[in-house]
Structure 1
Amino acid sequence: MNNDLSSIRDGWLDASTDDAEARAITRLRISVRGEQIARNKTNRAGIESEAINTSLLPLAEFLANNWWPLLYEPIRPSLDDGFRIRHRLDSGMRGYAFPPIALWSAGEQAIAADWAAFSNPFSTVSFLAPQPNEPVQLKRAGVEDDLADLIETVLERTSGASKNLADAWERVTMSISEADERAYCIAAGRLGLDPYDPDAPDLGQWAAGIPDELFGDVSEIVEVRELEEAAEWVREYETRLRLFPETELSYFGEPVPDLLDGSAGSIGHHSAIRLRAYAVLPTEDPRSAVDHLLGGVIAEGSQLAAEGPSGITALVQKNGTSARIGTVARSARQRRFRACAAAYMAWTSRNDEDRAATEATTRRQQASRAFAAEMLAPQQALLARATRFGFDGDDLEDLASEYICPFETVMWQAVRAGIPLRGIEIPQGHRPEVITAQHVA
């Protein structure tokens, strides 16, 4: 078991029955980063416990049948009930008590998990684990290992009596063992599609001529219904980007490695600080620092396009220690922010990878935006300029104009630096509502 996610059985409760679902009933505890997700109390007697009695067969069938979308589809702006059904583990439990927990992709190496306290008047128990402030990000490999172990444990316990489970898991394991098949299944799962559905869209046609990593970045943000058109745009503008000059990355140094032990924002933020120190760039003059780093990428008229598919902000082609960067931007402020985010994508990519900077919520994309914010409006520079009364709206606009960056970038950097803001309404952070807490008395 990995330390991020673990499902622990306290024995099997019925060994005599021939019914596979009954044979898979166990006393189950679920831990995510030490939080006991299955902690509950009985609605009648009010007795609390860290474990629940439930059958693992419905859970194993749900996991095996939804493996690729469950683990590879990220949240998109248009979060709907279909996404919730695919990602809430309790949605496949066929009436068995199970805590409201959801899993989804947070990027290439991470899985996001969310849960909440939940009271169901039609259930015998209420779940008590409080919802985290933000969805928790876990190491993908460990989560996949734990879920695979659970499925195989159920198969062994039931002697393969569930043909649904046996067939579904055989398909998954065969796909995992074949590199090309696995890549296709991941691409389908990233879009919330079943890779084994013969009526699913032809991803091979959509992705033709687009490098795998770039198609993956696009698929994380673009809706399925818009993907064919977006792919055509990418092919056209990828060709145009090959005519752009290259930006040297060798003097960036090494980014902060993402070990998944902190927020994505902190990785991007500290990577910007590390770059400034390595390249000896002035913190107090971020405008000239960014000019020095990106030069022609941020010059007037240098953008790749004024508009593109929703959510795509730049394209990147890395070639050794240099990269071509083309932004999708309408203004100088937007161009500089998106160029910085794209530079982070190039910096953290392998040689000869083509990538896209997007508005996706996956870890690398979040880190790229935090990197851009710190490069354009360093927190230390803002602290040096702030009075004891902080900033008002005019102050923020003056700074945004001086630094040539979005007003919102300066505002959020000031908030993160702990600078008081006067007469400014700070927008509430948007939390994805995959799981909604219900009152537990």
Structure 2
Amino acid sequence: MARSLRIIADWEPLDSGPPEERACFAALGIYAQNVCLTEGSDLLANRLRQAPLLSSYHLAEWMAWNWWRLRWEPRSKSSDWVYAHRVATIGGGYIWPNLTIFSDGQRTTLVAEPTRDRPQTPFRYITDDAAVVPSSEFESELDLFVEQVLERLKWAGVGDSNLETVWKGVLSERRTPALATVRKLEALLGRDPGESDPASVERLVLDAERLSISAIEELAAEHGHGGAILNADELDELAAEKGYEASRQDMAHLPRKHQLPRPGEVAAWQLGARAAAMLREEERISEEPITDRQLAQMAGVQVAALADRAGASAISFVLDENADRGRVVLRSKWHEGRRFELARLLGDRILSSAGERLFPATRAYTYRQKTQRSFAAELLSPFDAVDAMLGDDYSLERQKDVAEHFQVSELTIRTLLVNHGRLGREELDGEFEGAAA
């Protein structure tokens, strides 16, 4: 089967520099989904080149050190996030591509942007495109590339390299389940291996025994996006003091859930949209706006939960007390925001595995959170109805009218239009979901 991602190094001679660089100097090309992410203009040779001359050793060393964060950490606004995800930060005197790599846990996005045309700069990257590959394939290709570089070092007689040391550590961590859990949580927290607060990570691991590791990973990713880490005791207190009773028995269900794609098989927005469309069909809801009462009934909560404007928590969540009863806590103080949050939580409960107790809706860009957002958008404002109302008028004024009709935010309508190709991804100020896929 053809690989959707390839990192190809064609070795070239280099007369000076450290032995690792001389051994691993190469014409280095990165290709994803038939897109060359490293193409540029070689001003000295006066031609286009898909594989610029770079240090494969430096790239492999950067990838090895950042393996956990590249594999698991979603997009974040943290100030140091770029150093673990943007190839151009490698340095070492080379002109690296303006390539950003990040994962939602299931799918890895590679975004290539042109570099500036500057005087005296011999190479300018020109690719302006994005590609999405399964994260498992990204992991395999990264492993293959690092091993290739290590083999090249061995062939050249270069031993005891820093790359070899770092890579042995990564492989050992991946083979040790308990340590792998810690490293993944650290990555989601936005921390390099071993550089997180040990007490915070230990608390997350303990909370995972009570609430499930998948839910705790979502909380860690929220912290990586700038939020506080809420522990299990704090969630219990918030649910008791600020929450509304939620009945799983009264909640809407999807009897045909097995007909949905498995997570990762399609983009998160597609999974969420399909699930929402199936639920509308199951509940026999037309394309008209869903009322507060209808939404509350589907979510198994009191309609008063949507009327409350106090706001209660840094995140929205449902915490189940047992198989029948739980408590729902909504974050937003705005009516449209609370409707959207409740719809997200409904989607998360419908799609999550049996046995889950905690269902968090956070600001993070994990696959699970993106699926939630898409589910809520499609449930509250089905795209076909939105598209019909807009016609060919995608002006901000018309988007606002449609948002008010469905009682959702203008961003919800804009995101639907981007995901379905009616608007370009630049309309979301850096949102790559959907548009990149």
TM over 0.5, yes or no?
yes
Comparing 160-169 and 236-245, the one that deviates more: 236-245
Structure-2 separation of matches of 1:21 and 1:391 = 53
What pairs up with 1:25-36 in 2 under 5 angstroms? Answer: 25-36=25-36
8 Å Cα contact 1:110/1:138 also seen in 2: yes
Deviation of 1:153 after TM superposition, in Å, equals: 1.2
Residue of structure 2 in register with 1:439 after alignment? none
Residue of structure 2 in register with 1:438 after alignment? none
The structure 2 residue matched to 1:280, chosen from 280, 284, 303, is 284
Please give the per-residue CA displacement for 1:314-348, whole angstroms capped at 9, x wherever unaligned. Answer: 23549779976443343443332211111111222
Residue of structure 1 in register with 2:7 after alignment? 7
Structure-1 separation of matches of 2:229 and 2:162 = 33
SS of structure 2 residue aligned to 1:7? strand
Q: CA, structure 1 residues 399+287, in 2 after alignment: closer, same or farther (shift >3 Å)?
A: farther
Residue of structure 2 in register with 1:101 after alignment? 99
Comparing 198-207 and 90-99, the one that deviates more: 198-207
Code of the residue aligned with 2:5 in structure 1: it is: L
Residue of structure 1 in register with 2:339 after alignment? 336
Structure-1 separation of matches of 2:399 and 2:74 = 37
Residue of structure 2 in register with 1:143 after alignment? 138
1:69 aligned to 2:73? no
Deviation of 1:52 after TM superposition, in Å, equals: 1.8
Deviation of 1:233 after TM superposition, in Å, equals: 3.3
8 Å Cα contact 1:304/1:328 also seen in 2: no
What pairs up with 1:120-139 in 2 under 5 angstroms? Answer: 120-130=118-128, 132=129, 135-139=130-134
1:372 aligned to 2:376? yes
Count of aligned pairs between the two proteins: 417
Structure-2 separation of matches of 1:91 and 1:72 = 19
8 Å Cα contact 2:244/2:302 also seen in 1: no
Q: CA, structure 1 residues 389+102, in 2 after alignment: closer, same or farther (shift >3 Å)?
A: closer
Residue of structure 1 in register with 2:193 after alignment? 195
8 Å Cα contact 1:38/1:127 also seen in 2: yes
SS of structure 2 residue aligned to 1:158? helix
Deviation of 1:417 after TM superposition, in Å, equals: 11
Residue of structure 1 in register with 2:222 after alignment? 221
Deviation of 1:369 after TM superposition, in Å, equals: 1.5
The structure 2 residue matched to 1:348, chosen from 347, 351, 362, is 351
SS of structure 1 residue aligned to 2:93? coil
Code of the residue aligned with 2:107 in structure 1: it is: A
Code of the residue aligned with 2:336 in structure 1: it is: R
Residue of structure 2 in register with 1:423 after alignment? none
Deviation of 1:248 after TM superposition, in Å, equals: 3.6
TM-score by length of 1: 0.79
The structure 2 residue matched to 1:209, chosen from 192, 207, 210, is 207
Deviation of 1:243 after TM superposition, in Å, equals: 6.4
Deviation of 1:313 after TM superposition, in Å, equals: 2.6
Residue of structure 2 in register with 1:113 after alignment? 110
Residue of structure 1 in register with 2:59 after alignment? 59
8 Å Cα contact 1:26/1:54 also seen in 2: yes
SS of structure 1 residue aligned to 2:207? coil
Residue of structure 2 in register with 1:437 after alignment? none
Deviation of 1:262 after TM superposition, in Å, equals: 5.3
Comparing 245-254 and 341-350, the one that deviates more: 245-254
Structure-1 separation of matches of 2:20 and 2:72 = 29
8 Å Cα contact 2:399/2:410 also seen in 1: no
8 Å Cα contact 2:312/2:330 also seen in 1: no
SS of structure 1 residue aligned to 2:159? coil
Residue of structure 2 in register with 1:430 after alignment? 429
Please give the per-residue CA displacement for 1:265-300, whole angstroms capped at 9, x wherever unaligned. Answer: 333223211222234333335338944752542510
Q: Name structure 1 gaps, 5 residues minimum.
A: 421-426, 434-441
Structure-1 separation of matches of 2:361 and 2:393 = 36
Code of the residue aligned with 1:340 in structure 2: it is: A
SS of structure 2 residue aligned to 1:161? coil
Structure-2 separation of matches of 1:42 and 1:334 = 50
SS of structure 2 residue aligned to 1:185? helix
8 Å Cα contact 2:218/2:366 also seen in 1: no
8 Å Cα contact 1:318/1:346 also seen in 2: no
Comparing 375-384 and 322-331, the one that deviates more: 322-331
SS of structure 2 residue aligned to 1:221? helix
8 Å Cα contact 1:58/1:92 also seen in 2: yes
Q: CA, structure 1 residues 238+3, in 2 after alignment: closer, same or farther (shift >3 Å)?
A: farther
SS of structure 1 residue aligned to 2:247? coil
Deviation of 1:237 after TM superposition, in Å, equals: 3.3
8 Å Cα contact 1:297/1:303 also seen in 2: no
8 Å Cα contact 1:233/1:308 also seen in 2: no
Percent identity over the alignment is: 19
Please give the per-residue CA displacement for 1:32-65, whole angstroms capped at 9, x wherever unaligned. Answer: 1111112122223421121122221111111111
TM-score by length of 2: 0.80
8 Å Cα contact 1:397/1:407 also seen in 2: no
Code of the residue aligned with 1:101 in structure 2: it is: L
8 Å Cα contact 1:253/1:275 also seen in 2: no
Q: Name structure 2 gaps, 5 residues minimum.
A: 433-437
Comparing 208-217 and 290-299, the one that deviates more: 290-299
Residue of structure 1 in register with 2:270 after alignment? 266
Q: CA, structure 1 residues 201+384, in 2 after alignment: closer, same or farther (shift >3 Å)?
A: same
Code of the residue aligned with 2:132 in structure 1: it is: Q
Code of the residue aligned with 1:163 in structure 2: it is: S
Code of the residue aligned with 2:270 in structure 1: it is: S
Q: CA, structure 1 residues 144+2, in 2 after alignment: closer, same or farther (shift >3 Å)?
A: farther
Deviation of 1:70 after TM superposition, in Å, equals: 2.6
Code of the residue aligned with 2:288 in structure 1: it is: E
